[in-house]
Each structure stands twice: as C-alpha cells, then as structure tokens.
Amino acid sequence: MVRMDALDIKLLDALQKDGRMSNADLAANVALSPSACHRRVQRLERDGVIRNYVALLNPRAVDCRATVFVEITLQGQADAILEAFERQVALIPDVLECHLMAGVADYLLKVVAKDTDDFARIHKQYLARLPGVAQMQSNFALRTVFKTTALPI
C-alpha cells in the first residue's frame, strides 16, 4: 500500500472525475502550486497508484449496445486449468473484465456485443472454445442503472 495524504486523495479524486484536467486547473482545484501538483502526480504515477489515462467511450456510439455477464464454472480448480483459462480469456477482445470468483461460478466475465446475434458469434467463436469449461450461464443486462470508474477513496 502506498502512503498518501489528504492532498493525494484530493488529486486522485479530481483526476478520476476529469483525467484531462490541465495541471494548472488541478493545482488550483487542490490549492497547490502547479509545480508541487505536478511532482505529486508524477509520484502517484511512478508508485503505480495512477495506472493509466484513458478515454471512456459511449458504448452506444461505438455500437456495443449489449452487456452480458457470463458466469463460468470450470471442470476443476487445478492451477494448470485456471492458468489455461485465464490465458485464453484475456485474448478475447469483447471481454472487458474477467474476475475469479468465490461462490457458485468460478469466473464472472463482462462481455460487450452489438446485439444478441453478435453475442452468439462471440459465444461460438470464443467462449465455447475456452479450455476447462464445464458450465456457462449468460445474463443479459436490460439497462445500466449506474456505472462509474471512480474508486471510492
């Protein structure tokens, strides 16, 4: 865990809301000089607290209208089975997230698709070919009620 003070938290909170904010605006936002602000942000980047800067796209604008949560149960829990599955699932471009789970399913995937026909293609081309899969259940999101990328810090 990286040591952070209240100013670091303010910086991170502001950057999570607007990662394109200029250093001058960020500095003013947290009541620091621009040079001190820049040094702190560089330290947070160097320490791995800030991992990357990205553009968040509107899924509808890029024709990714369907979000599907796929629960996957594997045939076993041996390291070789888990590693083979994780290696292959990471190669699927339509999978946004893959989580190893505790509970009924071994993995939970977040998949995006244009529509149900496109998901059928993804299932046939990729998901059905994943190694070690014993069972798979797909759940289509009807509507996104709330979504954020900001972590509660």
Does 58 map to a domain? no
User: pLDDT by residue (tens digit) across 110-128?
Assistant: 999 999 999 999 999 999 9
Domain that holds residue 13: 6-46
Q: How confident is the model at residue 98 (pLDDT cuts 50, 70, 90)?
A: very high
**Average pLDDT in the chain:** 96
Query: In total, how many domains does the chain have?
Result: 2
Same domain as 78, residue 22: no
134 and 89 inside one domain: yes
CATH of the domain at 19: 1.10.10.10
Residue 41: other Cβ atoms inside 10 A: 20
- Res 7 pLDDT > 90: yes
**CATH value at residue 77:** 3.30.70.920
Flag whether pLDDT at 47 surpasses 90. yes
Residue 71 shares a structural domain with residue 39: no
Long-range CB contact pairs, 121-129, < 8 A, 24+: 122/92, 122/94, 126/92, 126/94, 126/95, 127/70, 127/92, 129/88
For residues 73 and 125, membership in a common domain is answered with yes
Range 23-50 average pLDDT: 97
